[in-house]
Amino acid sequence: MKYQLIIIGGGPAGYTAAEAAGKAGLSVLLIEKNNLGGVCLNEGCIPTKTLLYSAKTYDGARHASKYAVNVSEVSFDLAKIIARKSKVVRKLVLGVKSKLTSNNVTIVAGEAQIIDKNTVRCGEETYEGDNLILCTGSETFIPPIPGVDSVDYWTHREALDNKELPASLVIVGGGVIGMEFASFFNSLGVQVTVIEMMDEILGGMDKELSALLRADYTKRGIKFLLSTKVVALSQTEEGAVVSYENAEGSGTVVAEKLLMSVGRRPVTKGFGLENLTLEKTERGVVKVNERMQTSLSNVYVCGDLTGFSLLAHTAVREAEVAVHSILGKEDTMSYRAIPGVVYTNPEIAGVGETEESASVKGIQYKVVKLPMAYSGRFVAENEGVNGVCKVLLNEQEQVIGAHVLGNPASEIITLAGTAIELGLTAAQWKKIVFPHPTVGEIFRETL
């Protein structure tokens, strides 16, 4: 069978590309070996945010008295929280499938194997395509720590489906995934320890705000071991034993459960990528141009396989660019304003340059910042809670970065992303009329 476009992988990049191409009238084949929606929808973005919202609601009920609301006997049901998470995922997966079928996308379940740039096999069937988009996603990286194979550890997948709370949890890795699970389990009363090799949690985010978030969670009982290397793992009846080393010497932490969360890496094997002999970058990932096109003109790569940001929203935009390129429409991918969000409580979000990245690149910048208390809406909804809004301006007074600690950072960060993408100066951005009262007004107050 022949199609105008074959897509391998049904995650955010894959299903976005399939829908856009199908809507444009192309004959499209989408091959997915697991569930539509990929890691993001099935075991990443959506399920974790569903759990975190339950935890946030529980936190709100426990502290309702701050808002003159009396709530007695606050409790939670973990099994029902997990069940609701699964229901949300099922609903959204069905929604994705409905969108694809309504746009005449042919969906095939199974493992794809690339034969050449125009031929893909799945099961007993062989398919031909004029164009090929690879959206194979990423997988959890488990470092080769001595003893790792002897420990009954969790990855994010097991943590999402666990229906019994451990008394204690050690999380190896203080990145986005690690901190979101630390937030969730801390809210539900679990004793959490986070071990991070870097000198601060949330590498890549603004260091000052990351430190403030860590200080907040330290007050809530989470123990952080920074600049600390895990050197060995073992299993005992009491739980997992994590041996570590840092500047203060060596030590161990024993916890009922261990969550390995040191990062993810692109999936590059198992689907015949080697049969395409694509040009690679110095980092060893597939090289693409600004239209997401590889060294083979009819082969495109989107999403985590590019190795760029491993974020669903980046993948969605890359997929749009790739399909537009196939359709002959002018469009290019820009990475100037890719937002990063950590859905802890409070949230932390950033877009554009951080102070650290600007310094490394030699960009001259100045920082303007304000406490979130300068937003009346924030004060009304966050009793006794602090936060920070920071904006970076270059020598021409253009907005080049913005970072927010405080709810709802995830919802307002796009305001800054738009300013960065459009190259607005502080004066130009300030001419935009913001509705009042909103938390987003904090950007206008900051400038």
Q: Is the dihedral of CA 103, 108, 109, 114 positive or negative?
A: negative
| DSSP code at position 372 | G
Catalytic residue among 156, 313, 403, 436: 436
SS (HEC) of 258-326: EEECCCEEECCCCCCHHHHCCCECCCCCECCCCCCECCCCCEEECHHHHCCCCCHHHHHHHHHHHHHHH
Q: Is the peptide bond between 346 and the residue preceding it cis, with omega within 30 degrees of 0?
A: yes
Report the C-alpha dihedral over residues 165, 169, 174, 178, rounded to 10 degrees.
-20
CA 347/CA 288 separation, integer angstroms: 33
Cα distance between the two ends of the chain? 58
CA 118/CA 276 separation, integer angstroms: 10
Assess contact for 203 and 175: CB atoms under 8 A.
yes
Give the distance, in angstroms, between the CA of residue 8 and the centroid of all CA atoms in the same chain: 21
The CA-CA-CA angle for residues 347, 352, 356, to 5°, reads 90
Burial of 88 (0-12, 13-18, 19+ CB in 10 A): middle
CA 125/CA 112 separation, integer angstroms: 10
CA 145/CA 185 separation, integer angstroms: 24
CA 139/CA 343 separation, integer angstroms: 21
| Closest by CA position to 183, among listed 197, 199, 169 | 169
Tell me, yes or no, if 63 is annotated catalytic.
no
CA 86/CA 51 separation, integer angstroms: 10
| Closest by CA position to 389, among listed 377, 374, 411, 410 | 374
Q: Is the peptide bond between 437 and the residue preceding it cis, with omega within 30 degrees of 0?
A: yes
Half-sphere exposure at residue 167, Cβ-oriented, CA atoms within 13 angstroms: 6
| Closest by CA position to 415, among listed 395, 394, 393, 430 | 430
- What residues are annotated to the active site? 436
